[in-house]
Amino acid sequence: MSAAMATGALRVLLTGAAGLVGQGVALACQRSPRVANLTALVRHPGSLNGSGSGSGSELIVPDFLRIEERQGVLSGFDACFYCAGAPPVGTAEAEYRRVTLDTTLAVARAWAAANPQGCFLYVSGAGADARSRLMPLRVKGETEQALQALPVRTVMLRPGGVRPVEGTGTRHGLLKPLYWGGAPLMKLAGAIAPSLVTSNLALGQAMIALAGREHPPATVECADINRIAADFRDPLS
């Protein structure tokens, strides 16, 4: 464990800052005194500010699949919060695999080589299983297996439904009506059945808490994400 992690002052690299999950995770990091520095790994400038929150810097790498060529700029982090991915609805299998498996592993391998004492936390999904007959769950499961073989501590977070908190939302046109119309029901479901729904802010809070542990669990299901987030006690949370 690095000295920064031992003192609770995490230096975090975040991918997917502009996405629904990443926006909430960025918000949690920006509010938390446990995070000393937040850097968003982005393809284009403005992704972090576009999340609706202010503090943090951006590391611009146009092609994540070639990120090993920029490995030197990835050093100095305690944790990587990987929140990027393709929507399972409306994405062809080849593209879904490229984004979910190939791109994730390219970033993870380069980051792990640059930060061997760090912790890589990956937002997967409930039911991820490399043997699943459902394509998204199968690819997510394969990605989990590949990440767990890396020479760093890894945590797979498996949320069910993810509810955006106020000020955050999805960029995908096909999903916007679903989240807009279903937000009240998702909030109610999260209160009644925490094993099925969490919020993007709770995901961020759980990731911060887990990154600070010397021996975090390998896999964290939705109910445990909510439990860890509920125990998260930052003054501004």
Q: What percent of the chain has pLDDT over 70?
A: 81
Per-residue confidence (pLDDT) for residue 64, from 0 to 100: 97
The 3-class secondary structure across 17-28, one letter per residue, is: CCCHHHHHHHHH
pLDDT of 27 higher than 60: yes
Per-residue confidence (pLDDT) for residue 199, from 0 to 100: 92
* The two structure tokens encoding residue 119: 């912790």
Per-residue confidence (pLDDT) for residue 81, from 0 to 100: 98
pLDDT (tens digit, 9 = 90+) per residue, 162-201? 988 887 765 655 555 554 545 555 555 445 656 789 999 9
pLDDT of 28 higher than 80: yes
* The two structure tokens encoding residue 26: 């960025």
pTM: predicted TM-score of the whole model, two decimal places: 0.87
pLDDT (tens digit, 9 = 90+) per residue, 79-107? 999 999 998 888 999 999 999 999 999 99
pLDDT (tens digit, 9 = 90+) per residue, 33-47? 999 999 999 998 887
